[in-house]
Amino acid sequence: MRALPALLLVACAGSQGASTTPDEAPLPSREEALRTTGAASRGPADALVTLVEFSDFECPYCAEAAGLVEALRERYPEDLRVVFRHFPLSFHEAARPVHEAAVAVREQGGDPAFWRFHDRIYATRDLELGAVLDAAEAAGASRATVREAVAAERHAGTIDEDLAVGVRLGVTGTPTFILNGRLLFGAPALEEFAALVEAARDEARALVASGVPRGEVSARVTEAIGGPLPDDPDAPPPAPERAPRQGPSTAPIVVHVFADHPCIGCARTRPDLERLVRAFGGDVQVVHRFLPLEIHPGAALVAEAGVEVHAQVGDAGFRAFQASLDGAPALLDTAQLVALASAIEGVDADALRLALGDRRHRERVAADARAGRRLGIRATPTYVVGTRVLPARATFPELEAAADDAIDALGL
């Protein structure tokens, strides 16, 4: 099976990032990876929202996130289902045996026993074998059986399957969540997390109102957001016809830059991109792509404002709008966005306000986000040069070298 593009460490999410690729298990298809059959879960089977957590028992951030998830379960008892996926990171040497024990506990006592073990491990954070066996015994499992399973690594295959699922979906660190198909790196603050759950629930309720059975809603939304893989994963991503550009639209080398607001480092990309276009003359064009991260609740609205500004005043006006975001608050409402954009010559404030009000550019932004996800992009800013995904926040020399390689590959 074809290897994934280079996976990216998260620049903005605040989670403990690491690339983990199991040798034992082939990567599943994306459609298979999005399914949750067979994983430990708690909450109603017909919940409108499914929250899948990729977790590492040694990860301190995961221990903190466990409390957040429990608070969400208490807040949405009828609408939220939580699913656990094993993702022990390679540099956490104590994690793997605890995950082995967790699978052994579940094998004996089912999901209720697993969650009792899970809660105790994260509450105590004691990963010594004796403490792990105490937790297993308290959960109702046989201490001797769990000890034997850990020593023999009896459940390695189950853990490797979860690792493969995570790698396929672009998980690079813990905790990582999938909320009805949307990837969240790290754990947001409780109220931000709750707002994301409520948005997913509202989306699901609309489907129920349209006649979709409640028990099918979460899976249907997840599959729709995940989307199919491209027919040719090795082909460069197509550039949208009306995307903001720098450089000639006929240039053979296309550099896509996936960005959002607020984003640590996105402002830094602008001088690098201008320098790149100058350095390569007519051979390179830069295309701006919108990738609003779920950890930035207002990013989608800012992106939609960018689409409208570009439609009104073109590439130069779009770059002026980007510059106006430097130093702006992380969360911008419609009035603030209109005020910023109105300072740009030629922008029709009323038309912008109307476009943001009816969310007419929502699908345009979502299409860019889907394109980024299919390339394994999970952080901003990220460059794609030809068929190559660069590490998040790549430097100008790295960007220049990638453009040189792409030109050489075309024989220019």
Q: What is the pLDDT of residue 412?
A: 67
Q: What is the pLDDT of residue 207?
A: 86
Q: What is the pLDDT of residue 118?
A: 98
Q: According to the per-residue pLDDT averaged within each range, which of 133-137, 173-177, 398-402 is highest?
A: 133-137
**Would you place residue 226 in the very low, low, confident or very high pLDDT band (cuts 50, 70, 90)?**
low
95: nearest Cα among 130, 59, 146, 141: 59
Rounded alpha-carbon distances, angstroms, from residue 305 to 269, 283, 316, 365, 375: 20, 30, 15, 10, 25
Q: What is the pLDDT of residue 214?
A: 92
Please report, rounded to a whole number, the percentage of residues in the chain having pLDDT higher than 90.
56
**DSSP run (H or E) holding 285:** strand 284-290
Q: What is the pLDDT of residue 224?
A: 62
The rounded distance, in Å, linking the Cα atoms of 240 and 361 is 14
Do the Cβ atoms of 113 and 106 come closer than 8 Å? yes
Residues 6+ positions from 128 with CB-CB distance below 8 Å: none
**Would you place residue 4 in the very low, low, confident or very high pLDDT band (cuts 50, 70, 90)?**
very low
Q: What is the pLDDT of residue 268?
A: 82
- Coil/strand/helix, residue 184: strand
Rounded alpha-carbon distances, angstroms, from residue 110 to 52, 122, 275: 18, 19, 58
The rounded distance, in Å, linking the Cα atoms of 92 and 142 is 26
Rounded alpha-carbon distances, angstroms, from residue 44 to 37, 134, 214, 332: 14, 29, 11, 36
Please report, rounded to a whole number, the percentage of residues in the chain having pLDDT higher than 70.
90
- Give the up-direction half-sphere exposure of residue 251: CA atoms within 13 A in the CB hemisphere: 26
pLDDT 10s digits, 53-72: 999 999 999 999 999 999 99
The rounded distance, in Å, linking the Cα atoms of 148 and 146 is 5
Do the Cβ atoms of 382 and 258 come closer than 8 Å? yes
- Give the up-direction half-sphere exposure of residue 161: CA atoms within 13 A in the CB hemisphere: 15
The rounded distance, in Å, linking the Cα atoms of 402 and 411 is 14
Sign of CA dihedral 172, 95, 114, 63: negative
Amino acid identity of residue 146, one-letter, is V
